A and B are shown apart, each in its own frame.
Chain A
Amino acid sequence: MLVHLRRSLVMATICMVLFGFVYAFAGTGVAQLLFRSQANGSVGANGSLLIGQNWSSPNWFHGRPDDTGPYAADPAKGTSGGDNPLKANGVSGESGATNLGPRSAALLADTKQLVAYWHKLGVNPTPDLVTTSASGYDPDISPQDALVQVPMVARATGIAPTRLRTLISAQTHGPQFGFLGSSYINVLQLNEALARLR
């Protein structure tokens, strides 16, 4: 009994040092040496490629509605909305989904509100554009999600729809190795390319 206790204390200490700290520090060292930009969060001039942002103006392509309409941040109520990796425009939050069930009346009402929101912008929304993501800050949309927004962006910016469609296909990342995951477009990259087009 006592010998078990003594060995347990020794082993727990060894594990904490070796598998807690040495492992994480060595990993951080290797990561910072070999893949500095990725390890630090893929941060560029306008933000991180890992985190969705709230694009509310019709001048830009919008991301998933994590921070839109019924899911928008409301500082008065203290709700953070999505697109919130810790703090967004001064409101605190964290990653997370809405967790609304498949027969949730709230989800039905929210989705109807989002459909109306898109119709007002002249967009016929795809499923991704009326549903929220797992992380609450999905930085990506599918090519189809971008294509349905072309009329909105073309009207607001005056850029020809054909040029926007070329831009979208240039920004599309196919599934990795041709079969892993789905085709996607990073909304920040797409809008940065759009800004260069103007």
Chain B
Amino acid sequence: MSFFFTLLALVVALGFTWRYLGSYMASVFEGRVHFLGRLERPIYRLLATSPEHEQTWKRYAGALVIFSAVSMFFTYVVLRLQGSLPLNPQHLGSLNPALAFNTSVSFVTNTNWQNYGGETTMSYFSQMGALTVQQFVTPAVGIAVAIVVVRGFSRRNSQTVGNFWVDITRCLLYILLPAAFLFGIIFVAQGAVQTLAGTVSFHDALNNVTQTMARGPIAFMEAIKQLGTNGGGFLNANSGTTLENPTGLTNFLSIYLLLAIPVALTYTFGKMVGSIRHGIALLSVMTLLFGVWVGFTSFAEHQNNPAVAAAGVHSTVGNTEGKEVRFGDTSSALFAVASTSTSTGSADASYDSFTPIGGLGLMSGMMIGEVSPGGTGSGLYTLLIYAILAVFIGGLMIGRTPEYLGKKIQAREVKLAGLGALIMPITVLIVTALAVSIAAGRAGPLNGGPHGFSEILYGLTSQGNNNGSAFGGLSGNTPFYNVVGAIDMLLGRFAIMIPVLALGGALAQKSAVPESLGTFRTDNGMFVGLTIGVILIIGGLTFFPAISLGPIVEQLSHVRFF
């Protein structure tokens, strides 16, 4: 019953956010919000740019790629020099080149895959100056790309798509910074840790236990980690720890925060293209998929853990292995689905210990391309790719030139959308095949049998989708996984973003065709169903053979343990 109220509260909170954050974000990107103008204008001066200087999609993409490369370089340098930098109370050494490379790629691609243990590897300097920075910057970049596609639909006969520097600055100052700061305060009030004072030791005279606890600037990193669908926590066990996620309320707020921007962007889209109904259609696709995934994953986690049941302990409180008492089974499952259906990848439970079907729920949320509701920006632009494919297929079925929002969808747009939809599955399946073919890859999993394969498949799916969650048993800090994972993450981010920017540019150049009686409707239930169909068919056909070797075999192997 309390799970029902949790869902209800989430729907109400997200409903308001959709309406008001959505329209606020449209105002931000249309340049009508100025309350931090004293900070915004000097930044443009230092960059020698201004909102009036618009870029073509090629220049926009060039700025994005070079800025990301520079960000990666900054992150890499900080991690490599960590041992000689200040704010390092635990005197942690520098990272080795492979791990520093993987980590810098991971944070610059918004993946936040962590091949390191936070509290035993990263100094406060690195957590703040390298990782938290990217947790602000990368969602801004993702949202900027989504806004370019939106402008592709809203502009007519335009050679330009906006100014990259202006878009990310506005997103950072007016959306991410105020919200993250506000929620950081709430997290501290609830008990999350925020200090620069280093570790603390204590002795308990009752049981004669002495402990030393890691601390750090955790709570405010937590806020942007969730809001920006980043997912990389301060500590190894992420949101499972009380230091990051102390109460039922912070757990709920985490779920809310990581869904907020991806959901609200559909309203922003509707408002900017002048048809809220089109935004509602996309929101419906997200909500229906999310609802189904929450349903079967939380049902699966409310069942017994097969190994625990075989040991003779039967549960009425679901699968408790790897879960925290204060959250319980269904709330942990809700968090997990929210985290894997966006590109967040934070975890308040051990996903590796989920039941086979529960684990499948998480894996498949990523495999359908993270569109329900997807990452900050990446969710909207990936969903628009599927919408374009749905329009194309719908157009073929009724024999008309497909149009979406008055823009003709022609060969070039379909090719770019097809490329955007297929790069992820191709990359993920090839690197997974590589990992299971060679000894260095097979050395990774902790668990045996089909679950070992699931660990590899999950890890490479997560990195290819820039999610960052893991079946934590996989030992990723090896030269093989550090390098292959980094390639997987880079392709999953930039090999999709560039065709998407090209798509935005191509659409912006087109003039609008007036709507007629024969126009294929793209704002009704039929279109929602068609888009969901396209998403499920592409995701299902590409990944079904792989998942049947992992979670499905595992679910069906009764009474066998590996």
Interface residues, chain A, CB within 8 Å of chain B? 1, 3-5, 7-12, 14-16, 19-21, 23-28, 30-32, 34-35, 38-43, 46-51, 53-57, 60, 64, 83-90, 92, 94-105, 107-108, 111-112, 114-115, 125-128, 130-142, 144-145, 175-182, 184, 188, 191-192, 195
Asked if residues A99 and B473 are in contact (CB atoms below 8 Å), the reply is yes
Proximity string of chain B (185-198) to chain A, C-beta cutoff 8 Å, 1 when within and 0 when not: 10011111111110
Assess whether B377 is interfacial by the CB under 8 Å rule: no
Assess whether B297 is interfacial by the CB under 8 Å rule: no
Q: How far is the CB of B120 from chain A (nearest CB, A)?
A: 5
Asked if residues B66 and A4 are in contact (CB atoms below 8 Å), the reply is yes
Chain A residue contacts of B189, Cβ below 8 A: 34-35, 38
Q: How large is the interface on B (under 10, 10 to 19, 20 to 34, 35 or more residues)?
A: 35 or more
Asked if residues A181 and B251 are in contact (CB atoms below 8 Å), the reply is yes
Asked if residues A50 and B191 are in contact (CB atoms below 8 Å), the reply is yes
A38-B189, A85-B214, A115-B311 known; A140+B325 contact, CB < 8 A: yes
Contact of A7 among B49, B191, B205, B324 (CB under 8 A): B49
Asked if residues B197 and A105 are in contact (CB atoms below 8 Å), the reply is no
Q: How far is the CB of A177 from chain B (nearest CB, A)?
A: 7
In residues 222-252 of chain B, which contact A (Cβ within 8 Å)? 224, 235-237, 240-243, 246-249, 251-252
Q: How far is the CB of B127 from chain A (nearest CB, A)?
A: 8
Asked if residues A182 and B328 are in contact (CB atoms below 8 Å), the reply is yes
Chain A residue contacts of B214, Cβ below 8 A: 85-86, 94-95
Asked if residues A95 and B247 are in contact (CB atoms below 8 Å), the reply is no
Asked if residues A39 and B195 are in contact (CB atoms below 8 Å), the reply is yes
Stretch in B261-269, B421-429, B441-449, B501-509 with 4+ CB within 8 Å of A: B441-449
Interface residues, chain B, CB within 8 Å of chain A? 1-2, 5-6, 9, 43, 46-49, 62-63, 66-67, 69-71, 74, 117-120, 128-130, 132-133, 136-137, 165, 168, 172, 177, 180-181, 184-185, 188-197, 199-207, 209-215, 217, 219-221, 224, 235-237, 240-243, 246-249, 251-252, 305-308, 310-315, 317, 319-328, 331-332, 347-350, 352-356, 359, 446-451, 454-455, 471-473, 554, 557, 560-562
Chain A residue contacts of B191, Cβ below 8 A: 38, 42, 49-50
Chain B residue contacts of A127, Cβ below 8 A: 305, 308, 313-315, 317, 320
Asked if residues B137 and A15 are in contact (CB atoms below 8 Å), the reply is yes
Contact of B240 among A97, A100, A144 (CB under 8 A): A97
A11-B47, A94-B119, A133-B240 known; A176+B248 contact, CB < 8 A: yes
Q: How far is the CB of B62 from chain A (nearest CB, A)?
A: 6
Chain B residue contacts of A94, Cβ below 8 A: 117-120, 214, 235-237
Contact of A40 among B48, B197, B206, B313 (CB under 8 A): B197
Asked if residues A23 and B181 are in contact (CB atoms below 8 Å), the reply is yes
A40-B193, A50-B213 known; A12+B353 contact, CB < 8 A: no
